[in-house]
């Protein structure tokens, strides 16, 4: 498993200096980034800039609107960037309210077209997916129904814990369909409170061990809100995760 970083974590830093921020991530020791947009640059411009710094793309978060309305462009951009995984980061209740099982089937044609192009598709969870719907946890229904070969998982460890589940156990439960994980830590109880990896309530050593056991390819550092300067929070998380067995 290789460490990456979800660029949404550094959105304010990128707003001030795109390439300086990517260079700082490389200096931290990261070799991969997970994109959340391209800062107004074309895919070709992004690829050239990242190549110059020595960074590769581990995945990209793409909204359902783009996947539905502009899938050909999404595929073209992913190929240009050398991006192996297109990740759906969030959906509204209008998508899953009629049933997580039905929503999984609706995503299969999109995932199939990505697969035809040599790309993987994954869904990134929050906590709301763990609410019971029709007598079953929503995310369980989603993955039990969705085609194993097409509908993959990017498990966000903090949101799994916040949703009342054990992250390491849930990662193991999805063995065979979980190429991606978000290493997110924080306090559990009350409102969401994000902290650097190793600083919160999650058992990160057991989580990292689980990712290695099931063959996760990329583990992305993510903080929705950084308690420190974002690059400092990323470096703290990176150093800690490396110390417990993750790889750069």
The total number of residues shown for the chain amounts to: 248
Q: How far apart are CA 114 and CA 203, in angstroms?
A: 34
Low-confidence ranges of the chain (pLDDT < 50): none
Residue pair 106/64 in contact by the 8 Å Cβ criterion: no
Among candidate residues 55, 63, 80, the one with its CA nearest the CA of residue 2: 55
Residues 231-243 as b/e (b if ≥16 CB within 10 A, e otherwise) read: bebbbbbbebbee
CA trace torsion 216, 172, 127, 223 (10° rounding) = -40
Among candidate residues 246, 234, 242, 241, the one with its CA nearest the CA of residue 21: 234
User: How confident is the model at residue 248, as a pLDDT?
Assistant: 85
User: How confident is the model at residue 89, as a pLDDT?
Assistant: 98
pLDDT tens digits for 46-68?
Answer: 999 999 999 999 999 999 999 99
């Amino acid at each position: 498993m290789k460490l990456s970083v979800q660029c949404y974590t550094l959105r304010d830093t990128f707003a001030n200096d795109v390439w300086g921020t990517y260079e700082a991530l490389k200096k931290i020791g990261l070799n991969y980034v997970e994109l959340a947009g391209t800062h107004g640059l074309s895919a070709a411009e992004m690829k050239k800039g990242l190549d110059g710094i020595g960074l590769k793309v581990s995945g990209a978060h793409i909204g359902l609107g783009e996947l539905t309305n502009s899938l050909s462009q999404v595929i073209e951009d992913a190929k240009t960037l050398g991006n192996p995984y297109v990740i759906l980061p969030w959906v509204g209740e209008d998508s899953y309210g009629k049933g997580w099982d039905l929503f999984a089937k609706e995503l299969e044609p999109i995932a199939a077209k990505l697969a035809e192009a040599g790309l993987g598709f994954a869904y990134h969870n929050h906590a709301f997916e763990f609410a019971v719907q029709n007598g079953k946890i929503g995310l369980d229904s989603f993955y039990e129904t969705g085609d194993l070969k097409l509908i993959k998982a990017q498990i966000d460890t903090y949101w799994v814990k916040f949703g009342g589940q054990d992250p390491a156990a849930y990662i193991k439960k999805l063995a065979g369909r979980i190429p991606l994980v978000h290493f997110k830590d924080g306090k559990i109880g009350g409102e969401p409170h994000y902290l650097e990896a190793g600083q919160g309530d999650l058992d990160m050593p057991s989580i990292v061990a689980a990712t290695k056991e099931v063959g996760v390819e990329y583990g992305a550092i993510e903080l929705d809100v950084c308690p420190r300067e974002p690059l400092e929070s990323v470096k703290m998380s990176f150093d800690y995760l490396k110390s417990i067995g993750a790889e750069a």
